[in-house]
Structure 1
Amino acid sequence: MFYLTYGEYQSAVPVRYLAAAVGRKGERPEMQDAHTIVENLLIYFRVPPSNEVQRLSFFAVFDGHGGARAAEFAAKRLHLHLVSRFPRGGVKQIDKDIRRVLYDAYKKTDEDFLREAIQQ
């Protein structure tokens, strides 16, 4: 919940937003980037991580760096690895642990991609 202040008055208002993605192919013959937009990650949780969290959004852009395969893989998997590792508890606990959780989610996504690439 964000608070807006108008002079002496302060009121809590729910933040609403719209998200969109636009891509533009550069010098390469095909678009190699990928993106993920999840307005509310809570739909992926069996049990919400906290009663304090009402919405948990995820927005990501993945640069293809010479190929779309890894970018597309990460766009499909990273947020799911994040959900599976997400800390439980209040906002303070989540804030404390989120850096490690993000690192672990990226690492797991990378390991899965490399494993799949070796098998193919």
Structure 2
Amino acid sequence: MKKRLKLASVAPSILKAYRADKIDLEQVMAYTLSEKRQEALFRRNPDMNAYQVRQTLTEGDIPLSDKRVTFSVIELRLQRVYQASPKQLVEDLIKACGVTRPRASDGRPDPQRALP
């Protein structure tokens, strides 16, 4: 189903070339990588094979194996967690710094006593 929806985003000129058997399905699928640049690329060089289309459309993209991508994904996950529970952020920062909260006699955090 997702592949069919992706094909719906292909520029009309590319679909027209496909119907006329000027390009194959693999090439059409390669053009789905970028809705913004697909038609300009097709007009510039309609004879590109699927590999060339993919290479051109993903030129300059950061690969998923890049450490920056991994860091960004972790950062986004943490951001979602801490937006859902801001108090958790404070608790985690306190733990990371090795600071323990003052405790009341019953063992619960004592809100009356300040952190050192």
TM (normalized to structure 1)? 0.30
TM (normalized to structure 2)? 0.30
The structure whose Rg is larger is 2
Higher relative contact order (CA 8 A, sep 6+): 1
Which structure dedicates a bigger proportion of its chain to strand? 1
